[in-house]
Amino acid sequence: MSQVSELPVATALANGGSSITFENVSKSYDGGSHAVEHVDFQVAAGEFFSLLGPSGCGKTTTLRMVAGFEHPTSGRVLLGDEDITSTRPARRPVNLVFQDYALFPHMTVADNVAFGLKVKGLARQECTQRVTEALTSMRLTPLAARRPAQLSGGQRQRVALARALVNRPRALLLDEPLGALDLQLRKEMQLELARLHRRTGTTFLYVTHDQEEALTLSDRIAVMNQGRIEQLADPRTLYERPATTFVAGFIGTSNLLVLHDPKRVGDHHVSVLGDGDRLVVPAVASIDGPVQVTVRPERIYLHPTEDADVRDDHSTVRGVVSELVYCGSTTHVTVELPTSEQLVVHELSNDTDLRSIGRGSRVRLSWAPNSTHVIGPLEATDR
C-alpha cells in the first residue's frame, strides 16, 4: 500500500498521543514484597517507550497500572495532565494488546475489531467507517469474514492491533505482543509496529524482555531490575554507555573488566597489567580504588599471534582461545585471560585471521581507548 493511500487512514486512526507520568509509584503485595518500587518517569506524547527487563522485574505490573488492572500502593499515574490512579479501567482512554491476542474465536475479524466500538454504543455508520479504516490500515480487508482459527499468528496479531487502535486510544499498551511468534515473523512484525507508530502518532508503551526488539523499536527504554529502573535512555546510550553492570550485561553482549590502580597519563587512565598488557580508558574526574569497565565485542581487534604489534595508546591483553562459535556472518571467539577473566570478540566469519586460530591458540587482543566505557566503582558484591 502506498504512502499516499495510507495517510488518510492513519489520520482517521490517530487521536493524538498523550504523555504518561509515574510519580514515585510503588506496588507491593501481601507480605510486603515490592513488585515496583519508587518508580519515576515520563513517557512523552507520541513516543515509542519500552520497559525492558528479565521476568519478574516489574515491567508488566508497571504497564498494568496504566491500564488500571493494578493499583499503586503509593504514588500517582497521570495520562496527560489527568490523574488516572483511581480511574476504573473501562474509563481510561487507553487500550492493551496482549501476547495471546485475546480474540473472540466465534467472531469474524471485522466483528472482533468492531467489538469495543459496539460496547461504547457508537452509531452504526461511524462504527462501520472506523472498522473499514482499521482493516485497511492493517491490510486485513481480504480477511474480514474469517475467524481467528483461520488466520496465521501474524494476521491474528494485526487483528489485535486493529481492535485496539480503532478506539483511537491516547496510549497503546503492548504486553510482549510478539512473544508467541516465530523469529522470522517476529522481525516482520517489529517493522510493522514501527511503521504503525510512525503513521498514527499514538503513544506506545511497550513491554518486552527481548533486548534486540527494544533497541530496534524504541525512542527510549527504561531497563528494570527488581522493581526499579536501573537506567532510562535512548537505545544508543544504553548500549554504548551503560550506567550499571546489570545494564551492561543485559543489553547485548558486554565484556566486563576491572581496572586496578590506574595512573593518569594525559587524557587517559592506564592500568599496567605486566608483560606489555594494559588497560587504557578515557580519563574520568577521579578514580579511587578499582572500577568496573566494559568493552563491546565488536570493538575488539583479534590478533592471531601474541607478539603482534599494537598501538601504544590502545588497551591490549594476551589470552588463550577457549571457544569459537560460528553465527553465520560473524564468529564469536571467547578468549580466556591470565586473570581468569574472559573476553568475547565478534569477528567477521570471512576474516582470514580466523583461519589460523582454533581452541587453545594464544592470541593478542587490542582496542581503542574510547571503546572502553567506565561504569563506576566496583561494587562490593563484584569484588
Q: Would the pLDDT of 3 be above 50?
A: no
Question: Helix/strand/coil (H, E, C) string of 308-360?
Answer: CCCCCCCEEEEEEEEEEEECCCEEEEEEECCCCCEEEEEEECCCHHHHHCCCC
Q: Going by CATH, does the domain composed of 3-248 fall within 3.40.50.300?
A: yes
In this structure, are residues 12 and 172 in contact, taking their beta carbons and an 8 Å threshold?
no
Band of pLDDT at residue 236, cut at 50, 70 and 90: very high
Q: What is the pLDDT of residue 15?
A: 60
Determine the Cα–Cα distance for residues 283 and 369; give it in Å rounded to an integer. Answer: 10
Q: Give the pLDDT confidence of 142-180 residue by residue, as tens digits.
A: 999 999 999 988 888 889 888 888 888 999 999 988 887
Rg (CA), the chain: 25
Higher pLDDT, 383 or 239: 239
123-143 average pLDDT score: 88
Q: What is the pTM of this model?
A: 0.86
Distances (CA, A) of 180 to 53, 98, 156: 18, 10, 11
Residue extents of the structural domains in the chain: 3-248, 253-382
Q: Give the pLDDT confidence of 40-90 residue by residue, as tens digits.
A: 999 999 999 999 999 999 999 999 999 999 999 999 999 999 999 999 998
Band of pLDDT at residue 10, cut at 50, 70 and 90: very low
Residue 305 exposed, middle or buried by CB count within 10 Å (0-12, 13-18, 19+)? middle
Residue 271 exposed, middle or buried by CB count within 10 Å (0-12, 13-18, 19+)? buried
Domains 3-248 and 253-382 share a fold: no
Q: Would the pLDDT of 189 be above 90?
A: no
| CATH number given to 253-382 | 2.40.50.100
- Spatial CA neighbour of 197 closest among 44, 7, 47: 47
Min mean pLDDT across 17-21, 85-89, 192-196, 294-298 is at 192-196
